[in-house]
């Protein structure tokens, strides 16, 4: 069975449409249609090609998914060598470059094309009559590896040129790289699978492009930017490099928006400083900038020397990676209790500063990277990012290298260090007592949804801790008017208001108090569940793991967090001091699933309710055992809609979820009370 002319025309129309949307999305970053519509068009083309294989073309978007693995890469000879650039590291070297250019051309000043120097993998793309037929790495400049199958999977690379009359033969040169966000996501997936992570985006891009199985390359998000060309047959070149780049953009090639032109050496140095200032905020890594004489006629006059062009130079930034020795590994305690192994290093100059410490993130990373005390390691520092150890140099490991041993107790407060099953990070369990976590614990304790101490914010907590006036939350209730009035930006009136807020916070609820303790993984909703289930604080503190997991929505991880917190004598002592200071709450009527008509029901609130705030509505629902969620799904039982309800109401109607108003909600709550 063969495709009809209608099938042929439809397949061709789909290819053109999908290629156009790829260009809009990956090159211009200006999509016209939602992802779902693109997926629908793509699926239609897949079905057509599956039914009629003769409709498949080399430029079809369906061919980007990858092909069967290759036994090895073939060689590819570049008709025009892919030359490297000479480097400049100082302003003086750039001035000397400009002087040589002007002297050779006998010109007062020269116009340059300026662009970032991407930290990726240089490639050469070959098009015949507008269709991609080959793609290769730079290799030694004369011969590279044929990685055509892999390059076809890179969405930013056009499979067919977007031009009515393409040149007979065109070589486009550029850089394949991985955006930083895609690099982080790739490494996260690698860690989840227990596989090797990549040291930096460049290594990730190179490793992805050199996969013998192009289906693996297709799963990794690679990007591409064009920066030049090789052989051009059947097309007249314009007068300047920048004009040729614009023509390539018109054919569908992505170009960086950071390109510029300028005259004279001052323009070059200004561009270098500008790019250096933006470097750490860019979505991709660059290791310098490239200057090229803009006039193609002047480029021809200048020619080449050895294996580099005379008309271009790379102005490099200070290195962001360097090698040094690990002198020791100890741990730091973060403000949330996270225990982070830190490598103490032989001082090394990297990223513009001298680095003596580098993070190892967590114990699993130390094991995965196999870092030993005494190792020679590669350290990376990018801008304000904390320096990190990215890899070990195995051949330089000394015979007396020692493994890192994770401590079992917090070096700050002596509490147990714990690591839950679902977390890579180990943590100190002395939350209310540990001075390393003091500020964070106090800010959380005083927050609006916890003890609601109005006026006790981050800046004031900073002052109180730094003046050694607060050690634990219990100390808040012993602050005096004189102490507070003498703080910065605090007069007697402000101090009096804060003391009144502190006094008012003593009268709270058990749920708020549990939440205020800052137990790991115990949020507002869980704190309320615990309050209703146990009824008393003593019941919670003495609960077993089995009893905790009997609480709705409390699983093994949350139960373990609560048990670890309650097991620390320091935490229990702070709780005792808080109650001794007068913190109290009304008795809680224990609520069981069998007692509540709203138990197990999920509500979503949207819009403005006429007679109550959302917090009040939420409290009413949760008081009867119901749950309040922030998003609508098929598991939602009721959407409570007020005035100006928006997308949540639309979603509810789309999914067939029951929509009620405030009066109907109150009726439900009243009925629930009658069933208790």
**In the CATH scheme, what is the homologous superfamily, with its name and number, of domain 87-316?**
DNA ligase/mRNA capping enzyme (3.30.470.30)
pLDDT score of 25: 66
Question: What superfamily would CATH give domain 321-396?
Answer: Nucleic acid-binding proteins (2.40.50.140)
70 has pLDDT over 70: no
Residue 474 pLDDT exceeds 90:
yes
How would residue 329 be classed by pLDDT, with cut points 50, 70 and 90?
Answer: very high
Q: Which residue has the higher pLDDT, 630 or 652?
A: 652
Fold of 5-65: Helix Hairpins (1.10.287)
Which tokens is 87 given?
């480097």
User: Which of the two residues, 76 and 71, has the higher pLDDT score?
Assistant: 76
d(CA 630, CA 640): 12
pLDDT of residue 382: 65
Task: Write down the pLDDT at residue 26.
Answer: 60
**pLDDT tens sequence across 132-165:** 999 999 887 889 899 999 999 999 999 999 898 9
Close Cβ partners of 138 (under 8 Å, ≥ 6 residues apart): 82, 121, 122, 123, 124, 144
416-590 and 602-674 share one CATH topology?
no
Q: What are the strands, taking DSSP E only, across 192-320?
A: 223-233, 260-263, 286-293, 304-305, 308-309, 312-316
CA distance 388 to 63: 39
How does pLDDT run across 251-278, given as a tens digit for each residue? Answer: 999 999 999 999 999 999 999 999 998 9
User: Domains of the chain: which residue ranges?
Assistant: 5-65, 87-316, 321-396, 416-590, 602-674
> Cα dihedral sign for 358, 363, 369, 374?
positive
**What's residue 67's pLDDT?**
55
The per-residue pLDDT for range 124-138, each reduced to its tens digit, is: 999 999 999 999 998
How is 584-611 classified by DSSP, letter by letter? B--------TTT-TTTT-EEEEESB-SS
Q: What's the mean per-residue pLDDT of the chain? A: 88
Distance from C-alpha of 425 to C-alpha of 428, rounded to nearest angstrom:
10
Gap between the Cα atoms of 70 and 63, Å rounded:
16
CA dist 299 and 305 (Å) reads 12
3-class secondary structure, 421? coil
Q: Among 31, 60, 36, which Cα is nearest to 48's? A: 60
Please name the residues in contact with 320: beta carbons below 8 A apart, sequence gap of 6 or more: 287, 350, 351, 380, 381, 382
By the 8 A CB rule, do 659 and 632 touch?
Answer: no
pLDDT, tens digit (0-9, with 9 covering 90-100), for 653-671: 888 888 998 888 888 877 7
> Which CATH number describes the domain made up of 602-674?
3.40.50.10190
Of the candidates 499, 528, 501, the one whose C-alpha atom is nearest the C-alpha of residue 512 is 528
> Is pLDDT at 112 greater than 90 in this prediction?
yes
624 neighbors 673 (Cβ within 8 angstroms): yes
Task: Give residue-wise pLDDT tens across range 163-214.
Answer: 989 999 999 999 999 999 999 999 888 877 777 788 788 888 988 998 888 8
Rg (CA), the chain: 32
Write the CATH number of the domain with boundaries 416-590. Answer: 1.10.150.20
CA atoms of 270 and 264, how far apart (whole Å): 10
Confidence (pLDDT) at 593: 47
**How high is the pLDDT of residue 200?**
81
Residue 1 has pLDDT above 70, yes or no: no
* pLDDT above 90: residue 631: no
Mean per-residue pLDDT, 71-89: 88
Q: What is the DSSP string of 494-553?
A: HHHHHHHHHHHHTB--HHHHHHHTT-TT--HHHHHHHHHHH-SHHHHHT--HHHHTTSTT
C-alpha pair distances (Å), 405 with each of 329, 346, 363, 581? 9, 20, 9, 41
Q: Quick one: which H or E segment has residue 442?
A: helix 438-446
- Would you state the pLDDT for residue 69? 60
Enzyme catalytic residues: 117
pTM, two decimal places: 0.53
Q: Residue 314 forms beta bridges with which residues?
A: 87, 290
Model pLDDT, residue 306:
66
pLDDT confidence band for 675 (50 / 70 / 90):
low
Tens of pLDDT, residue by residue over 487-546, are 888 889 999 999 999 999 999 999 999 999 999 888 888 898 899 889 999 999 999 999
Q: Tell me how far CA of residue 303 lies from CA of 104, 105, 124, 233, 337, in angstroms.
A: 11, 11, 21, 20, 61
* pLDDT of the residue at 274: 95
Question: Token pair for residue 522?
Answer: 């115990």
Spatial separation of the C-alpha atoms in residues 298 and 120, rounded to whole Å = 28
Percentage above 90 pLDDT, the chain: 46
Of residues 39 and 155, the one with the higher pLDDT is 155
- The span from the CA of 454 to the CA of 127, in Å, is 67
β-strands 376-380, 388-392 pairing = antiparallel
- As a whole number, mean pLDDT of residues 298-327 equals 88
Q: Which helix (H) or strand (E) holds 389?
A: strand 388-392
Cα separation values, 442 from 457, 473, 510, 558, Å: 9, 6, 18, 22
Q: Can you tell me the mean pLDDT for 333-344?
A: 87
pLDDT confidence band for 594 (50 / 70 / 90): very low
CA proximity to 80, closest of 152, 144, 148: 144
In terms of Cα–Cα distance, which of 622, 201, 177, 210 is closest to 380?
201
Task: List the beta strands (DSSP E) in 402-506.
Answer: 417-418, 426-428
- Greater confidence (124 vs 421) lies with 124
How many CA atoms does the CB half-sphere of 447 hold within 13 Å?
17
pLDDT at 591: 58
> 283: burial class by Cβ within 10 Å (0-12, 13-18, 19+)?
exposed
Write down the pLDDT at residue 199: 75
pLDDT at 66 over 60: no
Q: Give the largest CA-CA distance in the chain.
A: 97
* Mean of pLDDT values over 234-240: 95
Looking at 3-17, 99-113, 421-435, 468-482, which range is the least confident one? 421-435
Instruction: Assess whether pLDDT exceeds 70 at residue 68.
Output: no
């Amino acid at each position: 069975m063969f495709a009809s002319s209608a099938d042929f025309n439809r397949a061709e129309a789909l290819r053109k449409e999908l290629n156009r949307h790829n260009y809009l999305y990956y090159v211009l970053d200006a999509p016209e249609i939602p992802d779902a519509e693109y997926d629908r068009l793509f699926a239609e083309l897949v079905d057509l090609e599956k039914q009629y294989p003769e409709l498949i073309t080399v430029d079809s978007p369906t061919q980007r998914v990858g092909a069967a693995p290759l036994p090895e890469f073939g060689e590819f000879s570049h008709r025009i060598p892919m030359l490297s650039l000479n480097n400049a590291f100082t302003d003086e070297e750039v001035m000397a470059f400009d002087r040589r250019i002007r002297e050779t051309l006998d010109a007062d000043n020269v116009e340059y094309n300026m662009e970032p120097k991407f930290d990726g993998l240089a490639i050469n793309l070959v098009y015949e009559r507008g269709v991609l037929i080959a793609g290769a790495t730079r290799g030694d400049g004369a011969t590279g590896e044929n990685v055509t199958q892999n390059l076809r999977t890179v969405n930013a690379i056009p499979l067919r040129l977007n031009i009515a009359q393409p040149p007979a033969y065109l070589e486009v040169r550029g850089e394949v790289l991985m955006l930083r966000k895609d690099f982080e996501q790739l490494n996260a997936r690698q860690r989840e699978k227990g596989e090797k992570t990549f040291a930096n985006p460049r290594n990730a891009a190179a490793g992805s492009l050199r996969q013998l199985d192009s289906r693996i390359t297709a799963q990794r998000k690679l990007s591409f930017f064009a920066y030049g060309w090789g052989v051009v047959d059947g097309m007249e070149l314009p007068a300047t490099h920048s004009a040729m780049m614009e023509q390539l953009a018109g054919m569908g090639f992505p170009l960086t928006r950071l390109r510029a032109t300028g005259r004279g050496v001052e323009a070059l140095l200004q561009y270098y400083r500008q790019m250096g200032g933006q470097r750490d905020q860019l979505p991709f890594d660059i290791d310098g900038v490239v200057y090229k004489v803009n006039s193609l006629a002047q480029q021809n006059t200048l020619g080449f020397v050895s294996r580099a062009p005379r008309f271009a130079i790379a102005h490099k930034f200070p290195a962001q990676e360097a090698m040094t020795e690990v002198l020791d590994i100890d741990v730091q305690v973060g403000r949330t209790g996270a225990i982070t192994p830190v490598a103490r290093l032989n001082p090394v100059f990297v990223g513009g500063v001298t680095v003596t410490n580098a993070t190892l993130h967590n114990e699993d990373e130390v094991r995965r990277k196999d870092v030993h005390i005494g190792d020679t390691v590669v350290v990376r520092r990018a801008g304000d990012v904390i320096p990190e150890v990215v890899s070990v140099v195995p051949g330089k490991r000394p015979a007396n290298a020692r493994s890192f041993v994770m401590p079992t107790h917090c070096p700050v407060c002596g509490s147990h260090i714990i690591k839950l099953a679902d977390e890579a990070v180990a943590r100190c369990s002395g939350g209310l007592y540990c001075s390393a976590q003091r500020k964070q614990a106090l800010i959380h304790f005083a927050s609006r949804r916890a003890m609601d101490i109005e006026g006790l914010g981050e800046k004031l907590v900073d002052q109180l801790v730094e003046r050694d006036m607060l050690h634990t939350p219990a100390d808040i209730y012993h602050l005096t008017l004189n102490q507070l009035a003498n703080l910065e930006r605090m007069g007697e009136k402000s101090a009096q208001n804060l003391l009144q807020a502190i006094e008012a916070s003593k009268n709270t609820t058990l749920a708020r108090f549990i939440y205020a303790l800052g137990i790991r993984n115990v949020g507002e909703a869980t704190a309320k569940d615990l309050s209703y289930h146990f009824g008393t604080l003593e019941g919670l503190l003495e609960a077993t793991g089995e009893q905790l997991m009997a609480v709705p929505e409390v699983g093994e991880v949350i139960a373990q967090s609560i048990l670890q917190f309650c097991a620390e004598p320091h935490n229990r002592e702070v709780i005792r001091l808080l109650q001794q200071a007068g913190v109290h709450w009304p008795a809680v009527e224990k609520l069981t699933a069998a007692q509540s008509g709203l138990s197990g029901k999920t509500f979503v609130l949207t819009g403005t309710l006429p007679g109550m705030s959302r917090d009040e509505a939420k409290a009413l629902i949760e008081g009867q055992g119901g749950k309040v969620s922030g998003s609508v799904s098929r598991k939602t039982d009721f959407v409570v809609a007020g005035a100006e309800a928006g997308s949540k109401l639309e979603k509810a109607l789309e999914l067939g979820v029951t929509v009620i108003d405030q009066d109907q909600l109150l009726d439900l709550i009243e009925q629930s009370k009658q069933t208790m």
